[in-house]
């Protein structure tokens, strides 16, 4: 692996390597925390979506029933409303 100036044998300080590991661990922990939050938000959205889907299915079925009842009333109305 080359250094910033293209040097192949760039020496690495022992202390700097340890600091990078600590920084990487902290960075991974922060990323994991963010991913957990995103996962929780997605779970919450999925639950809301499922709830809305169920409610919309109920509304659709209710509208179908109402439409059928209305059509039946219209079919019966002309015979009942003769002058």
- The structural domains of the chain, with segments of one domain joined by +, span 31-73
Share of the chain above pLDDT 90, in %: 60
Residue 35: what pLDDT?
98
Structure confidence by residue, pLDDT tens digits, 50-80 = 999 999 999 999 999 999 999 999 887 655 4
Instruction: Show Cβ contacts of residue 1 under 8 Å, excluding neighbours closer than 6 positions.
Output: 8
| Nearest of 47, 68, 49, 45 to residue 57 by alpha carbon | 49
Long-range contacts from 54-60, C-beta under 8 angstroms, 24+ separation: none
Residue 12 gets which letter from DSSP? -
With contact defined as beta carbons under 8 Å apart, do 2 and 10 qualify? yes
Is residue 34 over pLDDT 90? yes
Average pLDDT (6-14) is 52
Least reliable range by pLDDT among 10-14, 41-45, 58-62: 10-14
With contact defined as beta carbons under 8 Å apart, do 64 and 57 qualify? no
């Amino acid at each position: 692996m080359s250094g910033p100036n293209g040097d192949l044998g760039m020496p690495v300080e022992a202390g700097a390597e340890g600091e990078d590991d600590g920084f990487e661990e902290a960075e991974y922990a922060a990323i994991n925390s963010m991913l957990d939050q995103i996962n929780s938000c997605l779970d919450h959205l999925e639950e809301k979506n499922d709830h809305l889907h169920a409610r919309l299915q109920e509304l659709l079925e209710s509208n179908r029933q109402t439409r059928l009842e209305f059509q039946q009333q219209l079919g019966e109305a002309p015979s009942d409303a003769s002058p």
